[in-house]
């Protein structure tokens, strides 16, 4: 029997595979699109049974190749570029492809775990898994929102587990291939190691400079949530996956700078001292992001905790320090 992981060479998918490998699970079919070939690096230290291009995989799946041979599908694959303007591509890639996998899994009673997104909430201030809280600001968020609506309609009559995860601002190892769409933590590290400073947006939406807040969640915690639901196929639903705590970009930047300083044996400094020394500076808020930017996110974890997931989530101080050490150990200076 195989475990299918889509988006396998991507950020979250490769971390899920690594977590499965740590359990000695290696009969994994890795599904992705390697037109951006550099993503292969995320799989070099992973053990898999096979790799298939995402279109080849879907064709073989629908042709019956995997009938009776799949334990679960962990669908992490998607276009996650929030600035993508090709709505046709976004909907085919994120919505139609996901719907085809869901139909296959339901017809064969195979657990289906998939990546949704906190982008479904848009610019709201309540982050609860309810229709009234959802108002996506871009076509990426809409593609995730629409698939969630399909899932909601299926849940009452589902033949097998369907679990969707609304990821908040995920950061951590194996995201370098994402380029400009990599996490803020990734860019902070590159800026500080390369230029000796971190740049943040000036204030917007009523927030002071650098005080916009997001729910930053470490990718290792995201992988653990996936494995928890894999262990509990009786649990279905759509769940927020974040820390439940909003932290400012100032806090994130300070954590990054101090983690880098620790590599050099230097002591941590408070935000005020880092600002005074020029390690953190503010740049004007981009006009192209006006009306499309989430200045505040904070996952409501009520449903996740009610489902029985009790493990703690790392704050940025712990998570960023771990991430910085991981990158430095691999010789990523900037």
Helix (H) or strand (E) holding 75: strand 70-75
**What three-state secondary structure class fits 81?**
coil
Q: Report the candidate in 263, 283, 266 with the shortest Cα–Cα distance to residue 187.
A: 283
Task: Check if the beta carbon of residue 173 is closer than 8 Å to that of residue 320.
Answer: no
- The one catalytic residue among 97, 121, 140, 323: 140
Per annotation, catalytic residue among 54, 89, 178, 292: 178
Which DSSP string do the residues of 106-172 spell out, in sequence order? Answer: HHHT--EEEEEEGGGGTT-S---SSGGG---SSHHHHHHHHHHHHHHHHGGG-SS-EEEEEE-EEE-
Side-chain half-sphere of 272: how many Cα atoms within 13 Å?
Answer: 0
Known active-site residue 282: no
Residue with token string 């995860």: 165
189 assigned to active site: no
Q: What are the residue numbers of the active site?
A: 140, 178
């Amino acid at each position: 029997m195989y475990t299918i992981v889509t988006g396998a060479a991507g950020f979250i998918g490769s971390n899920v595979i690594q977590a499965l490998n740590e359990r000695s699970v290696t009969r994994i079919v890795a599904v992705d699109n390697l037109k951006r070939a550099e993503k292969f690096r995320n799989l070099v230290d992973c053990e898999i049974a096979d790799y298939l291009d995402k279109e080849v995989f879907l064709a073989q799946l629908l042709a019956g190749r995997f009938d009776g041979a799949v334990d679960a599908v962990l669908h992490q694959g998607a276009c996650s570029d929030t600035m993508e303007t090709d709505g046709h591509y976004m909907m085919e890639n994120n919505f139609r492809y996901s719907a085809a996998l869901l139909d296959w899994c339901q017809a064969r009673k195979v657990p289906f775990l998939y990546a949704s997104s906190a982008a479904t909430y848009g610019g709201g201030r309540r982050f609860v898994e309810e229709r009234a809280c959802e108002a996506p600001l871009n076509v990426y968020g809409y593609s995730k929102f629409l698939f969630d609506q399909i899932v909601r309609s299926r849940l009452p009559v589902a033949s097998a587990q369907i679990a969707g995860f609304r990821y908040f601002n995920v950061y951590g190892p194996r995201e370098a291939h994402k380029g400009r769409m990599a996490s803020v933590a990734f860019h902070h590290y590159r800026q500080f190691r390369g230029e000796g400073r971190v740049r943040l947006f000036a204030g917007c939406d009523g927030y002071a400079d650098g005080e916009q807040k997001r729910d930053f969640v470490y990718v290792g915690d995201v992988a653990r949530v996936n494995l928890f639901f894999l262990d509990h196929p009786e649990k279905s639903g759509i769940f927020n996956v974040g820390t439940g705590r909003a932290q400012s970009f100032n806090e994130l930047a300070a954590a990054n700078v101090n983690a880098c300083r620790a590599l050099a044996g230097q002591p941590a400094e408070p935000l005020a001292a880092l600002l005074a020394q020029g390690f953190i500076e503010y740049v004007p808020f981009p006009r192209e992001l006006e009306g499309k930017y989430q200045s505040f996110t904070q996952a409501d974890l009520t449903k996740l905790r009610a489902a029985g997931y009790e493990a703690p989530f790392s704050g940025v101080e712990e998570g960023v320090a771990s991430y910085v050490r991981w990158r430095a150990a691999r010789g990523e200076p900037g």
